[in-house]
Amino acid sequence: MNIQIKPRKINRIVCLTEETTETLYKLGADDLIAGITEYTVRPEKAKLEKPVIAKYIDADIEGILSLNPDIVFAWSDMQADIVKELVKNGIEVYCFNHRSVQGILEMILKVGAITGYQDESIHLVAELTANIEKAETLSRRLKVRPKVYFEEWFKPLITGIRWVSESIEICGGDDIFPEHRKSHNAKGRILEDDSKIIIRNPDIILASWCGKPFRKQKLLRRDNWDSINAVKSDSVFEIDSAVILQPGPAVLSDGLEILSKIFIEWADRHGELIDNYN
């Protein structure tokens, strides 16, 4: 019997979420991608170059099988049924399940290890770590840390997932619902009503309605929200879901940059900015 000790080379990958697709492109390993999800927008050219074979919780199992993938990348319990069907059909699946900034960096290193792009993944992690350090340095220009409410969904009200909460803190803000970051799923981040938001009185409101267009006026018309500092000072902002709600490189590049800009501009408007900080 001829035993092969060396791992089989990965040549064909199906990515069921955007962050692994973005990571592979950034590693220069996009030629390995055999199929992607419909919700992929980073990079834009991915949907022009790769066949769309799945939505977030729906996938064309037969279509995936027809692509003959060496491995499929999935994410979280939300895709458990898809993973189960693929495994039953003999497909190797790696299901990432990270929720934190540290988890994003670890995901990149794992993708690099699986695909043989270790050096490239180490370089990308170093680049993203430098972004984190830059955001932390900029945050020290703030005289006070703004209280921040992040809204992932509006009916029911859902607060920010852990990597969003951590990113807010990296950039100098304080998430008004830090206790929710312990929740592994959205159910644990649901607010029964908006009374706690009003009581905790955020200075800044950030909204990213999970792919649905944000309607600022709808938010501003909520009962008693005119008493909230963020509403009174018009400090309500939308952040693209593709930037902030995908647990991949986008959060630690464009995401941190956008958050830092919002917080710095807020501090400048309120006289809470250190001008000559080194």
Q: What is the pLDDT of residues 115-131, one digit of tens each?
A: 999 999 999 999 999 99
CB atoms within 10 A of CB 220: 14
pLDDT of residue 250: 97
- Asked if residue 228 has pLDDT above 60, the reply is yes
Sign of CA dihedral 52, 55, 56, 62: negative
The predicted pLDDT at position 277 comes to 60
DSSP-derived secondary structure for 50-99: S-EEE-SS-B-HHHHHHT--SEEEEESGGGHHHHHHHHHTT--EEEE---
pLDDT averaged over every residue in the chain: 95
Q: Is the pLDDT of residue 278 over 60?
A: no
The correct answer on CATH 3.40.50.1980 for the domain covering 13-97 is yes
Say if residue 236's pLDDT is above 90. Answer: yes
| Residue 226 DSSP class | G
**What is the C-alpha separation between 235 and 161, in angstroms, rounded?**
21
Determine the pLDDT at residue 8.
Answer: 73
Rounded Cα distance, 23 and 250, in Å: 9
CATH number of 130-269: 3.40.50.1980
Tell me if domain 13-97 and domain 130-269 are identical in fold: yes
Give the per-residue pLDDT at 102.
Answer: 98
Compute the distance between CA of residue 112 and CA of residue 119 in angstroms, rounded to an integer. Answer: 8
Percentage with pLDDT > 90 across the chain:
89
Q: Domain spans of the chain? A: 13-97, 130-269
pTM for the structure as a whole = 0.94
Distance CA 255, CA 104 (A): 13
